[in-house]
A and B are shown apart, each in its own frame.
Chain A
Amino acid sequence: MVYLDNSATTLPWQEVLDTYQQAASAYFGNPSSLHRPGVEAETLLGKAREAAASILKVKSSEVIFTSGGTEGNNLAIKGTAVEHQNRGKHLITSAVEHPSALEAFAQLEAFGYEVTYLPVNKEGRIRPEDVENAVREDTTLVSIIHVNNETGTIQPIEEIGKRLAAYPKLYFHTDHVQGAAHVPLDLGKANVDLCTISAHKFHGLKGTGMLYIKDGTVLSPLFHGGGQEQKIRAGTENVPGIAAMAKALRLAREQHTKEAKRMYELQKYLLQELEKIDGAQVNTPQTGAAPHIVNVSFPGLKPEVIIQALTKRDIHVSTKSACSSKLNEPSHVIEAAGLGQERADSAIRISFSFETIKEEIEKLIDVFHEIIPEMKKVMGA
């Protein structure tokens, strides 16, 4: 089995599962309860929060646990926009966000907000000066994805953050879901107020995530109910899932330190080998991309057909993002980069984990050499 769809989701690490299992049986109480099982669960929750906060180099009071990246993005974007609507209803984002951000903005537009979608260049990157130029008196939020989930393009979050520091009333959110494991952001340097993270992208469990909310940032909650998570996110906390996430984050940072160089080399190798395949057009930029994502188009070929052929050989990759990969829609990210309809229609995403090895990439390349010319003949492409 060659699993190269780690941007969609990753295999939970065994240590992470162990943490989950232990916590689920030994810390079963409701952390809001006052008795011992409750207090023990709350203590574990607090420890997980401290651990996560210290890895992210933020205060524990600045970490809110969520059900994942989608909720994090929705809470950050809608929560800020709604809370500060009296100050203004203008929001800034990019054309290449994840659907969970784009759809949140679409919903806000339906409620009368105005959204500026910044364009990107051929590498899928926005220009920091464009962000600053788009800021108006009534802008309350800028939300920019850190690492693009389709192409791996890294946005200049730090530089944007520096520029936005001149506008203290404006909030800056970044979707760090794809960056958290492989391109860790320094949240302080990047001057962000809000940052979304999802555990199942770094070998944690699905259904758990975090939103960093810088002290002093006020937002209106999505879920109302109990007083959990400083009243920003009601609902009984998923204590074992959260403990497992803190564990996964720590292990991911260790792996990153150890493996980052090797992963960049692996990516470079794949990019070089793709050059040799007739008709392959790489959409991931040569520089300034995360090490775990390679996006390539085979114009004229149907990506589903390529994926099926790879699946038959036990290699698993995907078209764009998992959430929409069922739809035969072109990639909005590649379209926005101006790489043309054909490339947007035929893109395939290959994404590594820390455990991906060169032999697996070699196998993928071999299979490409075997199937692509054949398919091109059939399609007359």
Chain B
Amino acid sequence: MKNIYADHAASAPVHHEAAKAMMEAMENNIGNPSSIHHYGRKARMQLDQARQQLADSIGAAVDEIILTSGGTEADNLALVGYAKAHKDQGSHIITTQIEHHAVLHTCERLENQGFDVTYIPVNQYGQVSLEAVQEAITDKTILVSVMHGNNEVGTIQPIEEIADIAQANNVAFHTDAVQSYGLMPIDMKQTPVTLMSVSSHKINGPKGIGFLYAKKGTKLMPFLTGGEQEKKRRAGTENVAAAAGFAKAVEMAVEQREERAGFYQQLSDYFLKCLESEGVRFELNGAKEERLPHITNIFIPNISLESFLVQLDLAGIAASSGSACTAGSVEPSHVLSAMFNDPNRSASSLRFSFGQGNSFEEVEQIAKEIRTIVHRMNSG
């Protein structure tokens, strides 16, 4: 039996080209980019090249890219950094009920510090309405944060329109693009996004690096203070090798974007078809069309989630209940709770997320295994 990894939304294996770029940098480029000697300058050059690659991928300027230790740090820096730097302009922040915990818990923290946060609800497809965003804006609002593609159900939000609304109201707009980056193109020259978070390990780059896009002129209160790195917006010796690996992963993601998105979409569509032909009773969670191509979240009535995942795992299939970051526990999904007023829904829903290593045979295999487990559970 071959193991099947269908949890790419939690973390995607590092592409060997990205790993190679990283190893090369680690072996040959040892300097600290802030040092003025030859080694430092060489490291600086590699870092600059990587940053250029990241900037080009979203039509940004190089100094609009702040390298961070990952998506969580980027979200935290965007929200807290922006809120604290603009608190004299207002204390109201708008976000949604289905954000990743890196946004939600950070907003809760800001509430403790005197900010007001509106958590916009979603419909049963996990979609935010533009009217709701518009209506939530007050003269105290400084920031709107709406994620691009949801990590649990894959629903894509209309961030271009939301960015326009924010701009028309003179409010900054942040989007968590950790799951959509690399699959959904975004051009900062076209879309008035103020801040955007990205994480490397979701696009087959190394763990421990990500970036925050911050539009030129956006004031942020830094989290990590110290050296002059990242134009004083994020201190700490730059992780040059990881940046090189990340840049390589980005280069490939950009080059192969349509190909990858198309392939993942085919896998996801085929998966649903296989489930149907296996006679599995299920419902799709999330939008049917406006959905990330790699994420498929399904509700299978009456199953016990934890034991289902264990049985899948025993069969060599790695899937998940939603977000990995609930750290080793299956808690009711806040995303499904926001979409459905039904605790059973989140108690019996599973996320499959596909990536480059997957095949149609594997998808068939997963559907077969799901049928087997459902039968076993129902007869047991």
Contact = CB atoms under 8 A, between A and B. Distances in A.
User: Are A and B interaction partners?
Assistant: yes
Interface of A: 3, 5, 8-12, 17, 20-21, 24-25, 28-30, 32-38, 42, 67-71, 73-74, 98-104, 106-107, 198, 200, 205-208, 222-228, 234-241, 304, 307, 310-311, 314, 316-319, 321-327
Interface residues of B, number: 78
Contact of B320 (A34, A104, A222): A34
Contacts of B228: 323-324, 326-327
16 contacts: A12-B27, A35-B320, A106-B225, A207-B236, A225-B75, A226-B325, A226-B326, A227-B325, A238-B208, A240-B207, A241-B207, A310-B37, A322-B40, A323-B34, A323-B235, A324-B228
Q: Which 3 A-B pairs have the closest CB atoms?
A: A323-B227, A226-B325, A100-B226
Contacts of A317: 37
B348 interface: no
B39 A3 contact: yes
B31 A9 contact: yes
Nearest to B16: A25
B14 A8 contact: no
A36 B313 contact: yes
Contacts of A24: 14, 19, 206
B216 interface: no
A70 B328 CA distance: 28
Contact of A29 (B11, B32, B69, B326): B11
A5 B40 CA distance: 10
Given A30-B324, A68-B236, A207-B242, A323 B226 contact: yes
B64 interface: no
Contact of B7 (A38, A42, A323): A38
A10 B327 CA distance: 33
Contacts of B320: 33-35
A20 B328 CA distance: 24
A226 to B, nearest CB: 3
B332 interface: no
A35 B208 contact: no
Nearest to A209: B236
Given A5-B35, A225-B102, A318-B36, A37 B5 contact: yes
Contacts of B101: 224-226, 234
Nearest to A106: B225
Contacts of B7: 29-30, 33, 35, 37-38
B66 to A, nearest CB: 13
B206 A235 contact: no
Nearest to A12: B26
Interface of B: 3, 5, 7, 10-14, 16, 19, 23, 26-27, 30-32, 34-40, 69-73, 75-76, 100-103, 105-106, 108-109, 199, 201, 206-209, 221-229, 235-242, 309-310, 312-313, 316-321, 323-328, 330
A102 B226 CA distance: 7
Given A198-B237, A206-B242, A227-B328, 5 more contacts: A9-B237, A24-B19, A29-B7, A34-B328, A226-B102
Given A71-B224, A100-B236, A207-B69, A34 B102 contact: no
A32 B324 contact: yes
B318 A8 contact: no
A10 B30 contact: yes
Contacts of B39: 3, 5, 316
B105 A200 contact: no
A161 B330 CA distance: 43
Contact of B235 (A99, A222, A326): A99
Given A28-B11, A30-B324, A200-B237, A38 B318 contact: yes
Contacts of B37: 5, 307, 310-311, 316-318
B119 to A, nearest CB: 15
Nearest to B319: A35
A30 B209 CA distance: 14
A225 B317 CA distance: 27
Contacts of A304: 36
Contacts of B310: 34
Given A32-B10, A32-B327, A223 B76 contact: yes
Given A225-B75, A236-B201, A238-B207, A70 B224 contact: yes
A25 B14 contact: yes
B242 A103 contact: no
Given A33-B7, A35-B312, A225-B102, A28 B14 contact: yes
Nearest to A70: B236
A10 B32 CA distance: 9
Contact of B36 (A67, A228, A235, A325): A325
Nearest to B103: A225
Nearest to B314: A36
A17 B224 contact: no
A17 B35 CA distance: 23
Contacts of B223: 74, 222-223
B328 A100 contact: no
Contacts of A69: 236-237
Contacts of A222: 76, 223-224
A208 B309 contact: no
Contacts of A198: 237
A100 B34 CA distance: 14
B330 to A, nearest CB: 7
Contact of A42 (B235, B309, B321, B328): B328
Contact of B226 (A103, A234, A327): A103
A26 to B, nearest CB: 10
Contacts of A36: 3, 313, 316, 318
